Structure 1
C-alpha cells in the first residue's frame, strides 16, 4: 500500500480549490434572536453601502460564466434537479421570495489572487467570491473558489492545500535575521482586479498578540488578506470563528498518474496535509480502515481504468482523477463546482448554526420569557428548514453527503443541541408552573382578606357604621358643618375594632400561606409580622376606649 511515485514526480495539470469559511456573530451573553436579526440587517446594509458586494437576485444563475447561455442553463438545470425539492427551496429560492433563508452576495473587483509561500509563488484565477448570510442565526459563510491550469507537482498542491486555507497564523517561528515569521500561512497575498490591485502588508507578531491579549476585545486574529477581500464593513461586526484557523476546503485535482499516488499521499490529500519525508504521515493504528472511513471508491479501480477517487475528512473534500479522462475534466469538474459544492455548503451551514444555537442555549436560563421562547422557535425553525440528513435521491449524493456529515459530527452535534433545547424547555415549563403557583397564592391572599371581611360582617352586621343619632353637642360647637349627616360617635371604638380585626386576620392569613424564598410573600414576611403586632395593639387601644368609664 505504500508503493507509488514520489509526490514531486506526479504532475497536476488542473487544480481547483473552494474554501468555506463559516462565521457566527458574537453579541455576547444573553444573545436574542431579535438582536441577531437587527445586527444582520446592519451587516447587509454595510455590504451594500460599501459597494463591493452585490446581492445575487437569482441563486440558480449565480455561477453563469462566459457567453455560452445554453451551457450555463444546462449546468444550472443539472444542479437544480440533483437535489430534493426541500433543498431546492433553500439553495435556489424564487427571485422575489422575501422570506428566503439564505441571502447570497457576490464580490466584485477581484479576478485573480497571488499567494506567496515559503518556496512557491502562484497566481490563481478567482472563479467565485461569494458570501452567504442567514439572519435568524447570525451566520455567515464566505466562499472563495480559485483555479489554475499551470503544471504543478503533487507536493506543491499539497502545500497549497495545507497553507492557503489558514485564517490566521497558528504559531510563529523565530529567525535571527527576519525575526518572528508566521507559520503555516502564506507570506503574502495579493488581490488583482481589472482596475487595481489590493494588497495589505502581512501580519506581524505584535499585531496578532495585541488582538489575543486585549482585555476588552480579546479574540483570535485574522490575516489581513481575508479582511481585505471581505471588506471593512463586514468586519465592523463581532464575528467569531466556528472552526480553528484551518478554513474547511474542497479540491479538484487532475493528475497524470492517479494510480501511482502512494498510500501516504492519499492520506495527506484526505487530511489536507503538507508533503513530508515519511512514507505514511500517521501511525498505522490511527489509519485503521482508512479506505473505508475516508475514501469513496465507487469509481476507483485502476486495474479496470476506473481512476476517480473521492476523499472526505469533514473539513476536507478532495476529488482526484486522471487528466486524460474527458469525463473527469468536464462532467466531474462541473459536479464538483455545483453538486458537491452545494453539499458542502449545506453541511458547513448546519454545523455553524448548530454551534451558534448551542452557544445561545448555554445562556438561555438568563433570558426573559419572550426571548427564551424566540430561542426555542429558532431551534425548531432550524429543524424544519435546514436539518436534512439526506439531500438527494442519487446514490452517490446520499453516500458522499452522509460520509461528509459523519466526519463533521453533525448528527452528534444535532442530538446535543436538541437535548439542550429540551432541557431549556423543561426549565421554561418549571418557571411557568412556578408563576402559576404564585398566581394561585395571590388568589389565596385575596380570598383570605375577603374571608376576614365576611367574618367581621357576619359577627357585627352590615349596618355597623350607619346610625341616625345626633352628633355630640361638644363637637357641634367646634364645627361649621351643623347640617352634616348625623353620626353616632359612640360607635368609633367599634369601627376601630372592626378595622384592626380585618387587619389582624389578614396578616395571620398571610403568615399561614406557604412562602418560597425570594417570592413576594417570602420577602414580605417580616412586614406581615409587624402588621399583626400593630393590629393587636390597635385592638387593645380601641377596646380600652370603648369600655372605659
Structure 2
C-alpha cells in the first residue's frame, strides 16, 4: 500500500507542477486591422484622409501622436535608440522621417501619421464556456496608422493581462481578433467569436459591446449591400470612420480588403515553456481552438513539417528542459513569441517585451501594410475594369485616366514603401522574411505589377492603333491632294499658252494632264512597298552598285518573275 500511496502522491505533485507551468504569467496581444480608405474627392491624385480626423465636424476622439524625435532630446530614451538603429537607413526614413542636415535645411517628416484614442481603458471578454468567468484586459493603446499617398489605414489595438490559464489565452487568440461571425452556433452565438466583448471606460462604464448574436443584422446587411457587416464594438472603435457599404453618413469611409480573421501578435511568458506540448505550440502559432495538451488541432499528416515552416528557434534549446529560452512561431497572420519569464537574456537577445512591442511590431506592421496596399491596388484595377464601356469614348477616356493614376500610385509605392529587407539584425530580418513568405506578398506584388503593366500596354497599343488610323487617313488625303497639286502645278508653269483658248480646249488639256498624273500616282502606290525597299538599298552605303541596280529592277518585275 505504501508504494502505491507514494506513487499516487508523486503523480499528483507532477500534475500540480504541470498545471502551474501552464499558467501564462504575462499575456499581450496586438491586433491589426488593415482597411481600404475610399477617395474623398475623385479628382485628387493624393487623398489626405488624416487631415480630416481632427476637424470640427468630428468629436475629436483621436489625437495625433508625436513621436520621440519631435520632443525634448533629454527625454530620448535608450529603448528609442535601440529601436531606431535596429532598422536599415531606408526604413529609418520611412518610420521616423529625416532631420535637417547640411542640405537645403528641409526637415522631411515620416510618411506615417499615427492617431490615438484614450477613452477605452479596458476590454471585458465573456467566453462561450458557461463555467468560465469574464476576463478583463487592460488596453495599452489604440492607434490608427495612416500612410501618405496610399489609401490604407491600419487599426492597432494592444491589450494585456497577467496570470491567465493557457486555455484562456488560446481562446482569446481564437475569438477576439474577428471582425464578424462567419456562422452561428445552435444556441445563437457567433461561430468562433466571443460571447460578449465590451469596451470599458476608466470608471467601468460600458462604452460599446459586441453583437455577434444578432444574426438577422448580418444577413440583411449582406443581402442589401453585398458586403459583410462588422460587429458593433469594432464599428464604434473606428468612429468617426464609417463603413462604406452602409447607410451611415461620414466623410472618411472605409471598406474591408481582407477576411474576418484579423492579423495578430501574441506575447506569452511562462515559468517553464518546455512544459508546452507540440499541440500547444501549434495552437498558439495558428490561433487555433483550445484542446487537451496531448492533442493536435489538425491531422499529423497536415502538420508533418510544421516546425520547419513556422518555428523560429534561434534562441530555443531542447537540451535545457528547465530554461529552453524563446521560441517564435510565425504563420503570416499570427506572430507568437513564447519566452521563459525568468530569462535573463531577453533584452540582449532582442526577445524581451520592449522588443516585441516595438521592433517586432514594426516588422509585422510593414509586412501587412505591403499586403494591404497590393490588395487595395488590385481592387482599384477591378473597379476600373468594371466601369469600362469599350464602345463609349468618354468611358475609355476615364478608364485611361484611372489606370494612369493607379500606375503612378504603384510606382510611388514601389520607390517609397517597398522593402525586401528591413534590418541587418539576423533575427528581425529572418522573421520579416518568414512573415512575407507566409503572406505571399512578393507573389502578390508581382501579380499586381503585371496586371498594371498589361493595362498600360493595352492603353499604349490602343493609342498607337488610333495614331495609325490617323496616319492612314492623312496619307489618303495627301495622296489625293498630290494629284491636284501635280496637275495644277504643271498647268501653272505656263509651258502651254492656252489662257485665251475656249473652255472645251482647256478642259481637254486639263484632263490630258490629270489622267496620266492619276495613273502614275496610283501605280506608285501599288509599287510603294518595292520602291521603299529600293530606297533602303540606295541609302545603304555598304550595298554594292549591282545590288542597288538589282533592287531597282525588282521594282518592275512581276510576281511570277520574282518567284523564279
Q: What's the TM-score, normalizing by structure 2? A: 0.73
Question: Structure 1 pair 59/449, CA: closer, same or farther in 2 (3 Å)?
Answer: farther
Aligned to 1:137: 150
1:45 counterpart = 2:45? no
Report the aligned-residue RMSD: 3.9
The alpha-carbon deviation at position 69 of structure 1 amounts to 7.5
Aligned to 1:173: 185
Aligned to 1:208: 218
Secondary structure at the counterpart of residue 284 of structure 1: coil
Are the equivalent residues in 2 in contact too, given 1:23–1:242 (CA < 8 A)? yes
Question: Structure 1 pair 188/59, CA: closer, same or farther in 2 (3 Å)?
Answer: farther
Are the equivalent residues in 2 in contact too, given 1:22–1:139 (CA < 8 A)? yes
Equivalent residues in 2 for 1:138-157 (5 A)? 138-149=151-162, 151-157=163-169
Aligned to 1:261: 276
1:309 counterpart = 2:339? no
Question: Structure 1 pair 364/232, CA: closer, same or farther in 2 (3 Å)?
Answer: closer
User: Which of 336, 340, 356 is the aligned partner of 1:336?
Assistant: 356
1:373 counterpart = 2:404? yes
Distance (whole Å) between structure 2 residues aligned to residue 174 and residue 191 of structure 1 = 26
Query: Which runs of 5 or more structure 1 residues have no equivalent in the other structure?
Result: 470-488, 514-549
1:159 counterpart = 2:171? yes
The alpha-carbon deviation at position 58 of structure 1 amounts to 2.8
Distance (whole Å) between structure 1 residues aligned to residue 306 and residue 420 of structure 2 = 23
Distance (whole Å) between structure 1 residues aligned to residue 55 and residue 277 of structure 2 = 48
Aligned to 2:421: 390
Distance (whole Å) between structure 1 residues aligned to residue 159 and residue 45 of structure 2 = 31
1:126 counterpart = 2:139? yes
The alpha-carbon deviation at position 426 of structure 1 amounts to 2.2
Secondary structure at the counterpart of residue 181 of structure 1: coil
Question: Structure 1 pair 445/132, CA: closer, same or farther in 2 (3 Å)?
Answer: farther
Equivalent residues in 2 for 1:219-234 (5 A)? 219-234=227-242
Are the equivalent residues in 2 in contact too, given 1:18–1:146 (CA < 8 A)? yes
Measured against aligned partners, the alpha-carbon deviations of 1:113-169 in whole angstroms (never above 9, x if no partner) come to: 2222223411111112111123533111110011112x1110110000000001111
Are the equivalent residues in 2 in contact too, given 1:47–1:234 (CA < 8 A)? no
1:417 counterpart = 2:448? yes
Are the equivalent residues in 2 in contact too, given 1:251–1:319 (CA < 8 A)? yes
Q: 447-456 or 165-174: which moved more?
A: 447-456
Measured against aligned partners, the alpha-carbon deviations of 1:263-317 in whole angstroms (never above 9, x if no partner) come to: 1111100101120247111111211221111100011114333321100000000
Q: What's the TM-score, normalizing by structure 1? A: 0.75
Question: Structure 1 pair 445/372, CA: closer, same or farther in 2 (3 Å)?
Answer: farther
- Structure ranking higher on relative contact order (CA contacts 8 Å, 6+ apart): 1
User: Which of 60, 67, 70 is the aligned partner of 1:58?
Assistant: 67
Are the equivalent residues in 2 in contact too, given 1:9–1:154 (CA < 8 A)? no
The alpha-carbon deviation at position 189 of structure 1 amounts to 2.4
Query: Which runs of 5 or more structure 2 residues have no equivalent in the other structure?
Result: 1-13, 100-105, 244-249, 389-397, 527-564
The alpha-carbon deviation at position 182 of structure 1 amounts to 1.5
Are the equivalent residues in 2 in contact too, given 1:168–1:221 (CA < 8 A)? yes
Secondary structure at the counterpart of residue 110 of structure 1: coil
Are the equivalent residues in 1 in contact too, given 2:96–2:110 (CA < 8 A)? no
Question: Structure 1 pair 418/42, CA: closer, same or farther in 2 (3 Å)?
Answer: closer
Measured against aligned partners, the alpha-carbon deviations of 1:41-92 in whole angstroms (never above 9, x if no partner) come to: 3564145442111223437579x9xxx985x621111111100010111111
Question: Structure 1 pair 154/107, CA: closer, same or farther in 2 (3 Å)?
Answer: same
Aligned to 2:541: none
Aligned to 2:196: 188
Distance (whole Å) between structure 2 residues aligned to residue 22 and residue 390 of structure 1 = 21
Are the equivalent residues in 1 in contact too, given 2:267–2:336 (CA < 8 A)? yes
User: Which of 466, 472, 477 is the aligned partner of 1:441?
Assistant: 472
User: Which of 276, 288, 294 is the aligned partner of 2:291?
Assistant: 276
User: Which of 19, 29, 41 is the aligned partner of 1:17?
Assistant: 29
Question: Structure 1 pair 429/458, CA: closer, same or farther in 2 (3 Å)?
Answer: same
Aligned to 1:77: 81
